[in-house]
Amino acid sequence: MTIPFDNSYARLPDTFFERQPPQPVKAPELVLLNRDLADRLGLDADWLKGPQGLEMLAGNTMPEGAEPIAQAYAGHQFGGFVPRLGDGRAVLLGEVVAPDGVRFDLQLKGAGRTAFSRGRSDGRAWLGPVLREYVLSEAMAKLGVPTTRALAAVRTGETVVRDASGRPGAILTRVARSHIRVGTFQYFAARNDRDGLRTLLTTLIDRHYPECETPLEVLRAVAAKQGELVAKWMALGFIHGVMNTDNMALSGETIDYGPCAFMDHYHPGRVFSSIDQQGRYAYARQPQVAVWNLAQFATCLMPLIGDDDAAIERASAAVDSFIGVYQGEWLRLMGRKIGLAEATEEDLPLIEDLLNRMATEKADFTRIFSALRRDPKTAGQEFTEPMAFDLWREGWEKRIASEDDPRAVMEMANPLRIPRNHRVEEMIAAAVDGDDGPLHRLMEALADPYAEDPRYASYEDAPKPDERVFRTFCGT
């Protein structure tokens, strides 16, 4: 099979990357292949499943036209700036041009050490984080959230050492509109490389924002994309967990599924990342962090915008434009979750009252809204004190009485199934033991998360007390 590569990033100056082939693995074995995504890319799924395709997905052979590189970037990690990060365990094979002309990065994650690997890092990934990212990213796509995608997951036949224990190695094939991040701009800004910044901005415009001509226009466009994205996270109870600037893709896609999670019991201060001890990336703080990250992006662009007071004010206004976009999208999405086709600011107290009651009464985020779309009278069962919901329901029923078809609106806004933490952990544990059955069943259950399907009713259940997972870990 010939893959239609056109590698614009690899044609940039060498300061943008290190040329880096993947390191071969011992005994690759295909775990999952995303046929739908293969079709979107114009790739032959049957070939990918065959011996030659498997060798490519494992990094053992390179297809014609590939130009493998490890990208350079910097980043603020939990608020602390690191001037040189880069792809320490990922290799970008190249850019695939899909049949409709859209360009996608094809990256192998867990492909071995690179020039950007730090310390004693082996550049590899183990099976758990690979399967987590595959499941979570594909679930997000099915939920309608802009995201990187997973084309394949491959066991390597090798053991990687984590926490003094050996775990099965794996490689994820990640597909993205690009891997240009806030941290990519920070890499060149930290080096006072104005030419590099100009080149990177031109690349970003060509790749994602052809309607823009100036740095300020790009900043506003990126802020709008991020506002829409974070609002979608919030409306699904999703917590990214590690919103470092190197994990903000300027395409507006969700990237990096390390310590991420969907909430069970709703609480605005919920944190799942095992390393986020201060709650920097808690659920309710995600919009605030997005603005902070955009401010870092704006700082990088200032040499191209200007350094006078007027330029600074314009850049600040562009960053702050995130707020209006986010608030409008959040209100629209949350309004639809309670059956309002066009929510207004007058509906904010009704929405916020429900969320406050959910937090106090430890209600399950997804199950509350799925109950609203099915039978609102049952939603109170998700509260420790059902009367708290019944009091809210009285006002809600009066509000939706004038709506044409609130149930139809809610059916499109409220998923029945999400990749719950306990199901993901159950799947990983089984896969480590060589049983991929739970993985395939979970993928089937999440294939159409908004549709009623009695076959997957158990995947709608909240975890039992002894099944709850309160901490997730970075995908190392």
What is the set of active-site residues? 246
φ, ψ of residue 174 in degrees (nearest 5): -100, 140
Nearest to 408 by CA among 336, 457, 342, 350: 336
CA atoms within 13 A on the CB side of 65: 13
In sign, the C-alpha dihedral spanning 191, 192, 196, 197 is positive
| Cβ-contact 262, 238 below 8 angstroms | yes
Distance CA 242, CA 4 (A): 34
Question: For the stretch 431-464, what's the b/e string if a residue is b when 16 or more beta carbons lie within 10 angstroms of its beta carbon?
Answer: beeeebebbebbbebbeebbeeeeebeebbebbe
Q: Is the dihedral of CA 55, 57, 60, 64 positive or negative?
A: positive
